[in-house]
Amino acid sequence: MYKTNKNLSLYLSLFLFLFSSVTAVIVIIAPPAAWCAEAKPAIQNDFKFPPNGNIVKLPLQNIDICLIDNYKTAEIIIKGDFDISTAAGGSSDKNFKTAGRSLSLKITGISKSKPAVIKYYAVLKTLPYSHIHRDDKKIEAHETIGGLNKNFGPLSFFTYGCVLSPARGGADIDVRTLFCAAGPFADEKECREFCDRMRALHKIPAFLHCVREKKPECFFNAAIEYIDLKNKDDKSLSGGAPLKSIKLNGIKELRVSAAAEILIKNMEFGRGDRWHNFKDARYIGAIKVSGDNHGLLQIINEISFDELLKVVVPSEIEADSAHQAVCAQAVAARSEVLAKFKTRHTDADYDFCASTHCQAYGGINNKRTSTDRAVDETSGMIMFSNGHIVDTVYHANCGGLTEDSNKIWSAPFDAALVKINDSTLETVFNFSTDENGLKNFILNPPPSYCSVKGACNNPDKYRWKREFSASEIDDMIKKQYDIGEIKKIKVSERGASGRAIALQLTGARKTVTVYKELPIRKLFGMLRSSLFIIETIPGGPKDAETRFIFKGAGWGHGVGMCQDGAKGMAITGKDFKQILLHYYSKSKILDFK
């Protein structure tokens, strides 16, 4: 079985990079029904690729983070000097500039709105934009695109990202990505179903992509109240009572910038997550309120790049961790932002969201001196590999082995993000082909950087166990799959590190396969990782139910830097450069300052 899977992944990488040599294989697999009826255009190599001439100067000045969308009201408190500008719908703009006053700004409601028009596409292939022009890559790139176009086209093309300039030595860094997509589809559901079929029938990791055809319209009302007015001795002149109130109606966009911090009352965090809550949050930079794609409100924080890193790093690693590990995290955070810059939320008006999808960002409450120092000490440093900025992803604990990124996500193979051995032993582990070896690895854990004392203090992290009865499993599965009572759970495909990437569920009525690491973990109440083995203890003849025991290693997706491992390396005397070069293969550290 594992021999087959190895061949499959080999086939997949061949398909992605040497499409022409496997065209014959594609032809014998029928394309999805919906596409059969359409006449296929012949291979053509004169595709029109949208260029995208975004040039972004380094170091970055401002980044727009969407703090929240789908909102109807908001309350913002501003202390000290501030500047408010509003773009009224169709009429003139208003500006307020006030020194030394505190103010309450309430968005009281939406007066008129119309959602954006979104079209849904299935991306079949992404590739660096530079490949369609580079002499050593363009034949391969055009053949790949031509093959996809012949079988699943006509394709649509989108170019995202930007050219970062100037890099060290005057050379620009091209982070543009070309999306080759089928569609548009009638709706989101049809597009998702097409992506699933592409994955199941053709092993093409297709994913849904939203394109905004028409911007939303949203007009809202606001009220400004000076909540306090102080004299030079810091004595309140208003006695705390509102001194003045201004009403603004039919605003399209509102921007507040303050010399000091801005507080947003009752900000929502972790929507859809277990830690979902509301609390007052403090920000610096500017706050912009405008209409989102639903026609409701979005609140965007415009912040400088280094300030963003200083806020993000302490929410990603404990500020009191060994200093070299914190420095490694700072470089990783910087590279990650730049690698993804202008490639995310391309259907919206901001660069990143504030959730874990982009960058967990909760305002300036988290700022710490030690992490500020790490950002300053590594200023301008990024991870670079084979002509691109490494998308320096990380996770809490790898369990001793990290994973290839293309096994976890719908991403092209990246030599910088491949399985590495985090064990301090010299042993080579290869678990995509060896189930017994994996069992031994999980049950008899080797010493690793991420098991070093002081690096990993949670006993439920490096190795963990979850146990469920058959009826508990039934309850979890039936929310998504109607397969009847569970009979068997089997990992049908593993990544290079042994992480489950396809899981077969056999029920009394039918068998389904769950693909990808995250859906597999979520199915069982968010397992620590997908690096697990399953032991089944059969039920007795009468009462006892069958039990399923998941025994696993590590926490998180397992790609890129292992944060506990980084701490372990720092504790054992390695510096941040050694840490980064250990986790990001075939990479170098570039200083753009």
Nearest CB to Zn ion, comparing residues 105 and 390: 390
Question: Which of these ranges, 129-137, 194-202, 475-483, 559-567, lies near Zn ion under the rule CB under 5 A?
Answer: 559-567
Q: How far is the CB of 205 from Zn ion (least distance, A)?
A: 19
Q: Report if residue 271 touches Zn ion, rule: CB under 5 A.
A: no
Question: Which of these ranges, 16-24, 161-169, 207-215, 417-425, lies near Zn ion under the rule CB under 5 A?
Answer: 417-425
Radius of gyration (C-alpha) of the chain in whole angstroms: 26
CA–CA dist 116, 293 (Å, integer)? 5
C-beta separation of 144 from 22 below 8 A: no
Strand arrangement, sheet containing 588-591: 388-389, 381-385, 588-591
Q: Which residues contact 267 (CB under 8 A, 6 or more apart)?
A: 67, 68, 278, 279, 280, 281, 363
Nearest CB to Zn ion, comparing residues 353 and 533: 353
> Mapped to the 3 state alphabet, what secondary structure does 445-488 carry?
CCCEHHHCCCCCCCCCCCEEEEEEEHHHHHHHHHCCCCCCCEEE
Q: How far is the CB of 477 from Zn ion (least distance, A)?
A: 29
C-beta separation of 202 from 186 below 8 A: no
**581 C-beta neighbours (distance < 10 Å), count:** 16
Q: Report if residue 562 touches Zn ion, rule: CB under 5 A.
A: yes
* Residue found under tokens 């998180």: 556
Question: Which of these ranges, 295-303, 414-422, 429-437, 499-507, lies near Zn ion under the rule CB under 5 A?
Answer: 414-422
Nearest CB to Zn ion, comparing residues 247 and 357: 357
Phi, psi of 461 (to 5 degrees): -120, -60
User: Which residues face 159 on adjacent strands?
Assistant: 178
Nearest CB to Zn ion, comparing residues 349 and 372: 349
Nearest CB to Zn ion, comparing residues 202 and 557: 557
Angle at 206 between CA 202 and CA 211, to 5 degrees: 145
User: Which residues face 395 on adjacent strands?
Assistant: 562
Q: Which residues contact 569 (CB under 8 A, 6 or more apart)?
A: 324, 325, 449, 578, 579, 582
Nearest CB to Zn ion, comparing residues 202 and 209: 209
Which position among 351, 422, 493, 517 is part of the footprint of Zn ion (CB under 5 A)?
A: 422
Nearest CB to Zn ion, comparing residues 120 and 394: 394
Peptide bond into 50 cis (omega under 30): no
Q: How far is the CB of 452 from Zn ion (least distance, A)?
A: 10
Q: Report if residue 349 touches Zn ion, rule: CB under 5 A.
A: no
Q: How far is the CB of 456 from Zn ion (least distance, A)?
A: 8
Question: Which of these ranges, 221-229, 422-430, 500-508, 577-585, lies near Zn ion under the rule CB under 5 A?
Answer: 422-430
Q: How far is the CB of 489 from Zn ion (least distance, A)?
A: 26
Nearest CB to Zn ion, comparing residues 248 and 396: 396
Q: Report if residue 357 touches Zn ion, rule: CB under 5 A.
A: yes
Taking CB under 5 A as the rule, which mask of x and - marks residues 383-412 in contact with Zn ion? ---------------x--------------
C-beta separation of 483 from 508 below 8 A: yes
Nearest CB to Zn ion, comparing residues 144 and 529: 529
| Structure tokens that stand for 440 in this block | 């031994």
Q: Which residues contact 95 (CB under 8 A, 6 or more apart)?
A: 83, 84, 85, 86
CA–CA dist 201, 164 (Å, integer)? 38
User: Interface residues for Zn ion in 433-472 (CB under 5 A)?
Assistant: 450
Nearest CB to Zn ion, comparing residues 251 and 562: 562
Q: Report if residue 498 touches Zn ion, rule: CB under 5 A.
A: no
Q: Report if residue 162 touches Zn ion, rule: CB under 5 A.
A: no
Q: Report if residue 353 touches Zn ion, rule: CB under 5 A.
A: yes
Question: Which of these ranges, 158-166, 329-337, 465-473, 562-570, lies near Zn ion under the rule CB under 5 A?
Answer: 562-570
Give the binding-site size for Zn ion (rule: CB under 5 A): 8
- Among 95, 384, 472, smallest CA distance to 257 is for 95
User: Interface residues for Zn ion in 71-110 (CB under 5 A)?
Assistant: none
Which position among 181, 204, 251, 358 is part of the footprint of Zn ion (CB under 5 A)?
A: 358
Nearest CB to Zn ion, comparing residues 346 and 504: 346
Which position among 161, 324, 565, 580 is part of the footprint of Zn ion (CB under 5 A)?
A: 565
| Structure tokens that stand for 569 in this block | 């390396």
| Binding positions for Zn ion, rule: CB under 5 A | 353, 357-358, 398, 422, 450, 562, 565
